[in-house]
Amino acid sequence: MGGDPNIEVHQDFVQVYDLPDPRPYYRALKPADYRMPGVVADFIVGNASVLSEAFAQPRPRLLDFACGFGAAAALIRHGLTCTQLFEYYDQQVEAGIGDDAAFFAGHQRSGPSFEIGGLDIAANAIGYARNCGLIDQAFDDDTLSAAPGPGLAAYLAETALIYEAGATLDVLMPALLNLLDAATGAPSPWLLYSPRFDVDDRTFISELRTRDYLVEIVNREPIHYRRSLGAKERTAHEAAIRKLGRDPVLGFDGDYLILDMKFARPRSAVDAYPLSRFPFSG
């Protein structure tokens, strides 16, 4: 098939991303050893006390941007690993949403608790996450095209952290800016995002600076995002990195796509809570 191989790979996943049942999605990703939801969850849970202190919230409020079926929220809330999540969906071929909700209810994290809102325009996926109890509130606002509606804006007013764990950031970074602009509460929310090396976030960082946000890299070593989905994706990924004037070797460690996790916060928060206060082992 001709055309842009990156688009072809994207279209393959559109077919399984917004379904009533998440099993086709998880089975498609299992061979890729998809790790990002676990990396994000570990960082958030490991730094719950700092979030609680900074925002005076015993139960920090989170917004899971482009949450899909709620993978990251499931790990944050229920203490599961990515491996356990993929194994569950791979083995429970006949389970329904009631069975899934019962599975998650039986795995409650004993550590910190969070209020989690999910944002995604994929109605089936976010509906599943809400019905399984992975998120507390579901928002389907298209924040790429317009400002958040009243419900989401009210939620943002008291949000401590907006995070993403695998969003299509080359397209969706303007949507993140719209969220920050709509968050009128004080203090302003923090943002955790992880652009792959084929994504140019320099304009995004410049836009954040105009809002007095500073961006820091959390990890010391590149994070293993997942394995490449095949030759088409690898070729497209290398070409996109090369187009940015970067060495394509930077985007991979063996078969794995790698990236940096970035932490954007208002300058006052960076001064009050330096990055050294945030342990991270990813």
Residue 5 has pLDDT above 50, yes or no: no
| 48 vs 233: CA distance, rounded Å | 36
- pLDDT at position 13 over 80: no
Segment 117-145 shows an average pLDDT of: 96
What long-range pairs does 1-9 form, CB within 8 A, spacing at least 24? Answer: 4/236, 5/232, 5/233, 5/235, 5/236, 6/232, 6/233, 6/236, 6/237, 6/240, 8/232, 9/229, 9/230, 9/232, 9/233, 9/236
**pLDDT at residue 1, rounded to an integer:** 32
Q: Which pLDDT band, with edges at 50, 70 and 90, does 108 fall under?
A: confident
- Residue 266 gets the label, from left (phi > 0), alpha (psi -120 to 50) or beta, of beta
| Residue with the larger pLDDT of the pair 38 and 10 | 38
| Each residue's pLDDT tens digit, 181-191 | 999 989 999 99
pLDDT at 282: 64
Name the fold adopted by 5-277: Rossmann fold (3.40.50)
Name, in order, each residue with C-beta under 8 angstroms of 88's C-beta and a sequence gap of 6 or more. 103
Distance of CA 53 to the CA centre of its chain: 23
pLDDT interval class at 15 (50, 70, 90): low
* Confidence band of 4 (pLDDT split at 50, 70, 90): very low
Q: Tokens standing for 229?
A: 């989905």
List the domain boundaries for the chain: 5-277
pLDDT tens digits, one per residue of 62-96 = 999 999 999 999 999 999 999 999 999 998 777 78
Instruction: Using CA atoms of 201, 203, 205, 207 in order, give the dihedral in degrees to the nearest 10.
Output: -140
